[in-house]
Amino acid sequence: MQLDPLTVTAIAAMAASTYFTRIFGYWLVRRMTVSGRLASALETVPGAILTAIIAPMAFATGPAESGAALITVLLALRLPLILAVAGGCLAVVLLRALLG
């Protein structure tokens, strides 16, 4: 196995930028009073990230993945987010087994 220096540099830069944004976010929020609109916005971030990850897969793959995405959305309307994700994972496994 041979590592390309450009690839290693890109991975290191992405890791550093991810780390920087997380640390900067924590630093910024600690110095502010979080209430009202800001609190609401921060509470929606996990759902928005989950949607950004799942939506392309739901439309670009087969019927099992699309069905599991729909089930995940329906579960998310009634259950906590972690349970909806777990239900969606279970749904994709079962639908892949059933639909092939």
- Among the residues of the chain, which ranges form H helices? 5-30, 36-60, 63-78, 81-99
pLDDT tens series, the chain, 100 aa: 788 999 999 999 999 999 999 899 888 878 888 788 888 888 888 878 878 887 887 888 889 989 998 998 899 999 998 999 899 999 999 999 999 7
In sequence order, the 6+-apart residues with CB closer than 8 A to the CB of 60 are none
Asked if 95 and 70 count as a contact pair (C-beta separation under 8 A), the reply is no
| Burial per residue of 3-14, b for 16 or more beta-carbon CB atoms within 10 angstroms, e otherwise | eeeeeeeeeeee
> What is the structure's pLDDT at 61?
84
Q: Residue 34 and residue 14: Cα distance in Å, rounded? A: 28
> What is the structure's pLDDT at 91?
96
